[in-house]
Amino acid sequence: MVYFEPRIPGNTGSAIRLAAVTGARLHLVEPLGFDLSETKLKRAGLDYHDLAVMDVHPSLDAALDAATSRTPDARVFAFTTQATTSYTSIAYAPGDVLLFGPEPTGLPGDVLAHPRVTDQLRIPMLTGRRSLNLTNAASIAVYEAWRQTGFAGA
């Protein structure tokens, strides 16, 4: 999981908890919209901070290099409400990278067009709705990818 320039500490705290319970690694791309010692971040992550693996990177390229270091041919899926491909139409593989943008803006165009982005995916919603909560969206995607790969480690 890669969070590009996250801004809301509670969402990142929840992502830490998601990483801890699924075994996903969380990569945060700076700048962050909060300090990692912020109370809301710690509260949302509860006591899972020590169980999660999280890295902070100075750039998207650094995060993608780290996220794909064990699987150099890993695919990078960027999640956006603008995509036409559903997240359920992908056959996920171990090592795939799930890239999410900040609330409230989502991933900027230059990130969506990044040469390492394999495809842009969307999570269906009712017409007229703007977006899901960031970590709710990440949870849906992480669990689908994990389900498809046999819930390894569970």
| % of the chain at pLDDT higher than 90 | 81
Residue of 95 and 37 predicted with greater confidence = 95
Cα–Cα dist 75/145, whole Å: 12
122-133 residue pLDDT tens: 999 999 988 899
Distance (Å, rounded) from C-alpha 154 to C-alpha 152? 6
Q: Would you say residue 100 lies in a domain? A: yes
- Tell me, yes or no, whether 153 lies in a domain: no
C-alpha to C-alpha distance for 81 and 106, rounded to whole angstroms: 8
Question: Would residue 77 count as lying in a domain?
Answer: yes
Domain count, the chain: 1
* Domain harbouring 113, CATH code: 3.40.1280.10
Residue 44 domain-assigned (yes or no): yes
Owning domain of residue 127: 2-148
Give tens-digit pLDDT for 73-117: 999 999 999 999 999 999 999 999 999 999 889 999 999 999 999
Q: Give domain status of residue 154, yes or no.
A: no
